[in-house]
Structure 1
Amino acid sequence: MPGVTVLRSLLLFVLAAIAEIGGAWLIWQGWRENRGLWWIAAGVIALGAYGFVATFQPDPNFGRILAAYGGVFVTGSLIWGMIVDGFRPDRWDLIGAGICLLGVAVIMYAPRGAVAS
């Protein structure tokens, strides 16, 4: 995967994380924090945007994209919590997020060649 394609892929993962985590957070705020239906509606729209962003990944395999995104989601959720809710992850949270990102790198960017028969 050339460098520009990897950079594009990483940016798409970040955009997807913002849309999905932000959408879930908006719904949480609308329902659990009683902010109202407009917050919930905005969350539903953001979650829909997440679904579209994932389709722009250069890899054609849905399963691979969503599996790798899982690691981005874990890490992004911790970052979102830190920035938006004042959450302070402990070392185990950080180690777990690092393991997830390592998994993302292996799933998405490991060299793949022709399989020998």
Structure 2
Amino acid sequence: MTVARSLLLFGLAALAEIGGAWLVWQGWREHRGLWWIAAGVLALGAYGFVATFQPDPNFGRVLAAYGGVFVAGSLGWAMLVDGFRPDRWDLVGAAICLLGVAVIMYAPRGG
């Protein structure tokens, strides 16, 4: 259950961070206005809290592992929301990042 909870939290963090950054981008770069930017800032703020619920107490480990989730999640967001078509190297890189997440967060550790 702890791994499932951790994965869910990583997913929520990615949604908040990537979605928040996308909203800011849309508000500023695509001239959609301050409400989009404000919504993005709120989502980015929420992202900052999500990591605090991770079962692992080590900030550095959680944030390092989240980096891999962010990479893969960004490609997924780009595909679903922006119609981006990743090439095989994008996908290989994302898979390597997710393997790194698994090693960093879920490898057995001695007591």
TM over 0.5: yes
Corresponding letter in the other structure for 2:93: G
Q: Which of residues 66, 69, 73 is equivalent to 1:72?
A: 69
Q: Which of residues 81, 85, 88 is equivalent to 2:82?
A: 85
User: Structure 1 residue 69: deviation in Å?
Assistant: 0.2
Q: Which runs of 5+ in 2 are unaligned?
A: none
**TM-score normalised to structure 2 length:** 0.99
Q: Which structure has the larger Rg over C-alpha atoms?
A: 1
Runs of 4 or more consecutive aligned structure 1 residues displaced over 4 Å after TM superposition: none
Q: Which of residues 96, 99, 104 is equivalent to 1:102?
A: 99
In structure 2, the partner of 1:54 is: 51
RMSD: 0.4
Q: Could you tell me the percent identity over the aligned residues?
A: 86
Note if 1:36 corresponds to 2:33.
yes
How many pairs were matched up?
111
User: Structure 1 residue 23: deviation in Å?
Assistant: 0.2
Corresponding letter in the other structure for 2:3: V
Q: Which of residues 3, 12, 36 is equivalent to 1:6?
A: 3
**TM-score normalised to structure 1 length:** 0.94
User: Structure 1 residue 71: deviation in Å?
Assistant: 0.1
SS in 2 for 1:113: coil
